[in-house]
């Protein structure tokens, strides 16, 4: 989702920059310090905005932290679906932390400068979050596919070893994709330091390159959509075929509902990002705000969805809270 919106914005500048190939340039030397454009707001608004971002970040930490802690402590939740939920929560923390901590520094101090290494570290975290969300959601779709379409063989297929393999594969694919993406960019000569964005990303840094190589923009994660689409098409087909077993069909759909809602949230937010960049009349602050929604909305809402919709997880959270409160009463 991040890559699609960045590619749309980058292609507008790609052609004129490619014409610079035969033009001599003097690349910047280390130490390089970038400056983020950030939001165009009065300095007096910095403290209220800092408080707002801080409150949001605390809720993200609290929500995802509770989900991860409950799943880790409660042995009854040591099942493939919940272990994957735990990994999704960790991924959400990565994305939220990478962007919201930077925003808090900007709003609190007004300092928009960021060193070269820190800029790349943030960009790597941002893109790893984007890639890992897709691969983890694909792994979760596969787990639900096996649970619904092969219910009698589920435990034989989704053994602990197989579950660990699926989760490690999801992270490995995401990390390898991002590693290749940034390996192409290491050593790219830069002729500018002003990043016209709220946070550092692959596209925003490459826009400062003296010469742009279009090969840097070919990596995509569209395959994850195909996996999720295939799994849920099979799930829906299996549910519709069980016409005489309404209870089983209802239970199967309920187990998939929370995952589908979360996937739709990511896609809706991604669509908002892309559409906001399609219309030049949209104010820049609105466009910038839309680009950070993906790091705020899913990490904030996902724990609520799993905490309240998933009965087993909700029961475990209530049980844990009661045990924490009981000694004080």
pLDDT at position 62, please?
A: 92
**Which residues does the chain have with pLDDT short of 70?**
1-28, 212-228, 236, 238-256, 258, 274, 276-277, 308, 324-329
Q: Any idea what DSSP says for residue 216?
A: G
Helix, strand, coil share (%) of the chain residues, nearest 5: 75, 5, 20
Distance between CA atoms of 64 and 299, rounded to whole angstroms? 7
* 184 within domain boundaries: yes
Tokens of 61: 């930490």
- CA neighbor of 10 nearest in space, from 218, 152, 241, 171: 218
* 269 within domain boundaries: yes
Q: Any idea what DSSP says for residue 296?
A: T
* 286 within domain boundaries: yes
Q: Containing domain of residue 42, as a range?
A: 30-325
Residue pLDDT, tens place only, 127-152: 899 889 888 988 888 888 888 777 78
- Helix (H) or strand (E) run with residue 35 in it: strand 33-36
Residue pLDDT, tens place only, 255-269: 667 677 777 777 777
Partners of residue 194 on adjacent β-strands: 35
* 317 within domain boundaries: yes
CATH number of domain containing 241: 1.20.1070.10
Distance between CA atoms of 173 and 315, rounded to whole angstroms? 33
Q: How many independent structural domains does the chain possess? A: 1
Distance between CA atoms of 300 and 92, rounded to whole angstroms? 9
This prediction has a pTM of: 0.81
* 1 within domain boundaries: no
Check if the beta carbon of residue 53 is closer than 8 Å to that of residue 103: yes
* 12 within domain boundaries: no
């Amino acid at each position: 989702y991040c890559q699609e919106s960045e590619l749309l914005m980058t292609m507008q500048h790609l052609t004129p920059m490619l014409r610079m190939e035969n033009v001599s340039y003097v690349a910047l030397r280390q130490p390089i310090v970038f400056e983020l454009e950030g939001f165009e707001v009065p300095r007096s608004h910095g403290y209220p905005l800092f408080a707002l971002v801080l409150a949001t970040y605390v809720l993200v930490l609290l929500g995802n932290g509770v989900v991860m802690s409950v799943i880790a402590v409660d042995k009854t939740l040591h099942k493939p679906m919940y272990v994957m939920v735990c990994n999704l929560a960790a991924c959400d923390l990565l994305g939220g932390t990478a962007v919201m901590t930077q925003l808090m520094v900007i709003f609190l101090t007004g300092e928009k400068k960021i060193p070269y290494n820190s800029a790349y570290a943030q960009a790597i975290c941002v893109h790893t979050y984007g890639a890992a969300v897709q691969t983890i959601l694909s792994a979760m779709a596969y787990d639900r596919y096996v649970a619904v379409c092969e219910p009698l063989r589920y435990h034989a297929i989704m053994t602990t070893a197989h579950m660990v393999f699926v989760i490690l594969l999801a992270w490995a694919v995401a990390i390898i994709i991002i590693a290749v993406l940034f390996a192409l960019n290491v050593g790219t000569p830069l002729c500018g330091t002003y990043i016209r964005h709220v946070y550092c990303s692959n596209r925003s840094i490459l826009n400062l390159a003296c010469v742009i190589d279009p090969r840097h923009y070919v990596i995509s994660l569209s395959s994850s959509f195909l996996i999720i689409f295939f799994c849920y098409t099979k799930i829906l087909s299996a549910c519709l075929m069980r016409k005489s077993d309404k209870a089983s069909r209802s239970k199967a759909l309920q187990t998939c509902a929370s995952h589908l809602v979360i996937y739709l949230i990511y896609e809706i937010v991604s669509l908002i990002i892309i559409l906001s960049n399609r219309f030049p009349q949209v104010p820049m602050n609105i466009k910038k705000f839309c680009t950070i929604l993906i790091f705020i909305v899913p990490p904030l809402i996902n724990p609520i969805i799993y905490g309240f919709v998933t009965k087993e997880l909700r029961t475990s959270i209530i049980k844990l809270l009661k045990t924490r409160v009981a000694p004080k009463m």
